[in-house]
Structure 1
Amino acid sequence: MSGIPAERVVSVGGHDIGYPHGHLGYLTEEEENALRNFKVYLTEKGLYTSSQNPSHDDQTLLRFLRARKWVIQDAYKQFKDTEDWRKANQLEVLYDTIDVDAYEETRSLYPQWTGRRDRRGIPLYLFQIRHLDSKTVSNYEKTAESTNVSKAQPDGSTPQRLLRLFALYENLTRFAQPLCTEMTDREHPRTPITLSTNIVDVSQVSLRMFWNLKAHMQAASTLATAHYPETLDRIFIIGAPYFFSTVWGWIKRWFDPITVSKIFILSPGEVKPTLEAFIEPRNIPKAYGGELEFSFFDRPNLDPKIRRAVSWENGYTDFPEGPAYWRPIDGGKKLECIAVGSKGGVQRRERVCTIPVAFPKEESAAVKDEGVGAAEGEIQEGVQGLSIADDNTAAELAEKVAPQAAEGENKTTPVSA
């Protein structure tokens, strides 16, 4: 497939877009002002309450601001649409009460968390498209549309099959990202994780199969972009067939230009070196040249560092199937993981484990007062097991590893709109 050179996308604040820029701890003065003004505007509109426990955390508000290029009115519209959509479809009730078996059935059709993270500490997901044959998808959609698997009473504007998908997005934002946020063995440990890195394997997929999946994937991508903005970071497409340029013509229209610029199409020879530039080999599945025992459909192969950080309770030694989320306890010094959903019609609500909060609010506020520069110096010295000299920023690594694609060759291509 012929490629287009990666284009560096610049924010209105004047610096490159991309983690950690535009995230907490790495905001320009203009972006800090935009966040403050956004809160004021949302408060006036009745969509935000500020207190010791605000209705929405800063990292969530920043996702909408980044998605709308820091234009407050545009961010407000998307935020309001999302809040209305969540209320109309009772997303909180859906996630709390969804049948665990139905949740796992849905999970098998979409990206799977490997239990690992990339070099920046962002959760790593794997998606193998070949499992979505027309029979599997058709049977799933018929079953999903005919069965309400939770106590939620949606307004009917969003199909049931997609609502079940968004239970998985809730798991990303309420379980995987908060867990990875509390892990400090990363370059920017005080910056909350709000993204995901995805390996998308399109090998063994025919043009007919892509065509049959087009409506299914387009609907999911459109709603995800609208209501879960700025949750995707690097996307590595592996195993692209010769006709993928045609398929790419459809796919890139589903995403905004910034997301499109983060998608890398890898040839077979470039899979291992490119992935290793972004992900430690021990966290790359063996099928793609790494050391991790992980196959699609597997439960997460949990990072040993995460295992050491959590304290298991109630007989658990791993995270169970189904939905779960984290909530603060002990005055915000710890988070507890609560397994929810239902099994055999019986509601589940059980503590799985706890994890210490790496930087409690009081400490974070004190560090902020001392100045970001001084704090960042301490952070860099305190990161264990991470060599900044070896692990350059993702952008720098991309420039080193991803060569320009020549016409007619399958070269690594960070694609831009």
Structure 2
Amino acid sequence: MMSSLEIEYTEDEKKTRLGSLKKVAISASFKFKSSFTKKGRRHNRVMCIAFEDDLDAEELQAVDAFRQRLIFEELLSSEHDDHHMMLRFLRARKFDIEKSKQMWADMLRWRREFGADTIMEVLIWIKEKILMIYVTWVTENSVCFVKDFEFEEIDEVLKYYPQGNHGVDKDGRPIYIEKLGQVDPNKLLQVTTMDRYLKYHVREFEKTFTVKLPACSIAAKKHIDQSTTILDVQGVGLKSMNKAARDLLQRIQRIDGDNYPESLNRMFIINAGSGFRLLWNTIKSFLDPKTMAKIHVLGNKYESKLLEIIDAPVNFQNSWEVLAPVQIKVVVCILTRDRGMIQIS
């Protein structure tokens, strides 16, 4: 006996339904391809900026096939209809469409269960009314935010888990810094909870993809969808990885790897002493070779390597303390259809 959700189709009805779905996929595919060539043909009240795109023909073909598969299986909503996002999932699964589709479906399920779809709801609602965009980098204290999730304990959290963005590298990618040697997971979990910290982490990831990376793309005049990470591990050793630290890092790694794949361009681990290197020998056995290729482990003489990809800060004087992580945000001022100006981040 069929449940109330099961519908039995005749052969003719199946053919008709299949044909309709294919037409939808083909139509969407045409619009998808046209978006690359008709960059200037948009609503005349909206300011558009064309970016350089480094997708080759083979990648574009793979993304197009993946997109049609997602449409066919009703797994593609308008907010995720982004060819660069699809490409990241394809790369994460070595362009295996079936495995990429499963990863995509799992991501959608996680977003619903975790609440990632609504964590930036106010910002997304405002974005739909955008006419003009102005972007600048400013510090946390200069910005008034409209937030769906308030993380009031952020100042206390940063005392025990120093982290933040600091400008961009020479390719225009945002630089993210963590000072892992100063992390105190026990005290961290006294000022917040594991669940609240993970929600904060996800909100920052969503803000990166919704606001920061688009801002970097505008500034660089090319598509930017990855970041450069610097981990300062001075003082980190085997004793640093207690149960609280392991649980936190494992949950963060799982969220990032499963739902925001291929968002890291390169990582520099600096001030790696003998204690960290012993720990690293264990950690790296769990990492994918492709991920390992992006990671550079450096000792205390790391300046020349970083200067290859990052411009020296003002008043550099051989000291990277000026690159201490700060909570740098992007301010987006938008002109709405009623000509009112709104400032968000």
What is the deviation of 1:98? 0.7
Cα shift readout 1:310-339 (whole Å, capped 9, x = no counterpart): xxxxxxxx84xxxxxx698679xxxx9xxx
CA distance in 2, matches of 1:125, 1:231: 12
Alignment-derived partner of residue 164 in structure 1: 200
> For residue 323 of structure 1, what is the aligned residue in structure 2?
none
What is the aligned partner in structure 1 of residue 322 from structure 2? 293
Displacement of 1:236 in angstroms is 0.5
1:42-83, CA deviations, whole angstroms, 9 ceiling, x for partnerless residues?
A: 101112257xxx642221111111111111111111111111
Structure 1 residue aligned with 2:110? 85
Q: Which residue number in structure 2 is paired with residue 25 of structure 1? A: 53
Give the distance between the partners of 1:181 and 1:260, measured in 2 at CA: 26
Instruction: Choose which of 197, 209, 215 in structure 2 pairs with 1:173.
Output: 209
Give the counterpart letter for 1:179 in structure 2.
A
The one-character-per-residue Cα deviations of 1:127-182 (angstroms, maximum 9, x if unpaired) are: 10122114323314xx325xxxxxxxxxxxxx443222211211221222111011
> Are 1:238 and 2:289 counterparts?
no
* 131-140 or 273-282: bigger deviation: 131-140
Percent identity over the alignment is 23
Structure 2 counterpart of 1:226, from 253, 258, 281: 258
1:117 maps to amino acid: V
How many residues are paired up? 264
Q: Secondary structure of the residue that 2:107 maps to in structure 1?
A: helix
Aligned-residue RMSD, C-alpha: 3.0
Distance in 2 (CA, whole Å) between partners of 1:258 and 1:182 is 29
- The change in CA–CA distance for 1:289 and 1:24 in structure 2 (over 3 A counts) is same
Alignment check: 8 A CA contact 1:124 1:198 kept: yes
User: Contact 1:199–1:236 at 8 Å: present in 2 too?
Assistant: yes
Using the TM superposition, give the Cα deviation of residue 299 of structure 1 relative to its aligned residue in structure 2, in angstroms: 3.4
Rate the CA distance shift 1:163–1:256 in 2: closer, same or farther, 3 A.
Answer: farther
Please state whether the residue corresponding to 2:172 is helix, strand or coil: coil
SS at match of 1:174: helix
Counterpart in 1 of 2:16? Answer: none
- Match of 2:265, SS state, is coil
Measured at CA, do residues 328 and 206 of structure 1 come closer, stay the same or move farther in structure 2, by a change above 3 Å?
A: same
Normalised by the size of structure 1, how large is the TM-score? 0.57
Among candidates 70, 76, 95, match of residue 95 of structure 2 = 70
Q: For the Cα contact (< 8 Å) 2:92–2:100, is it kept in 1? A: yes
User: Would you say the 8 A contact 1:222–1:255 is kept in 2?
Assistant: no
Q: Compared with structure 1, are the counterparts of its residues 287 and 174 closer, same or farther at alpha carbon in structure 2 (3 Å cutoff)? A: farther
State the partner residue of 2:298: 266
Paired residue type of 1:225: G
Equivalent-residue separation in structure 2 for 1:92 and 1:110 (angstroms): 27
2: CA distance, partners of 1:67 / 1:288: 37
Counterparts in 2 of 1:34 and 1:164: CA distance versus 1, 3 Å: same
Give the distance between the partners of 1:260 and 1:164, measured in 2 at CA: 27
Question: 1:197: how far off?
Answer: 0.4
SS in structure 1 opposite 2:219? coil
CA contact (8 A) 2:333 2:344 kept: no
User: 1:135 and 2:127 equivalent?
Assistant: no
**d(CA) in 2 for partners of 1:49 and 1:328?**
25
Q: Distance in 2 between matches of 1:131 and 1:32?
A: 43
Counterpart of 1:273 in 2: which secondary structure? Answer: helix
Kindly tell me: are residues 129 and 225 of structure 1, through their superposed partners in 2, closer, same or farther at Cα, counting changes over 3 Å? Answer: same
Corresponding position of 1:47: 75
Q: Secondary structure at the match of 1:119?
A: coil
1:144 aligns with 2:175: no
Give TM-score, length-normalised by structure 2.
Answer: 0.67
Q: Which residue of 1 is the match for residue 142 of structure 2? A: none
Give the residue type in structure 2 aligned to 1:217.
Answer: L
Q: Counterpart of 1:249?
A: 281
Structure 1 residues 102, 138: CA separation in 2 closer, same or farther (over 3 Å shift)?
Answer: closer
8 Å Cα contact 2:165-2:175 kept in structure 1: yes
Shift of 1:282: 2.7
Deviation sequence 1:326-381 (CA, Å, 0-9, x none): 698679xxxx9xxxxxxxxxxxxx5248xxxxxxxxxxxxxxxxxxxxxxxxxxxx
Aligned 8 A contact 1:24 1:59 in 2:
no
Q: Secondary structure at the match of 2:269?
A: strand
Task: Choose between structure 1 and 2: higher helix proportion.
Answer: 2
Give distance in 2, aligned partners of 1:255 and 1:75.
19
Q: Do the aligned partners of 1:203 and 1:239 also contact (CA within 8 Å) in 2?
A: yes
- 2:333·2:343 contact (CA, 8 Å) conserved in 1? no
Q: Which runs of 5+ in 1 are unaligned?
A: 1-22, 146-158, 303-317, 320-325, 337-349, 354-417
Q: Which string of whole-angstrom CA distances, capped at 9 and with x for unpartnered residues, describes residues 211-233 of structure 1? A: 44222212211221111101111
Corresponding residue SS for 1:217: helix
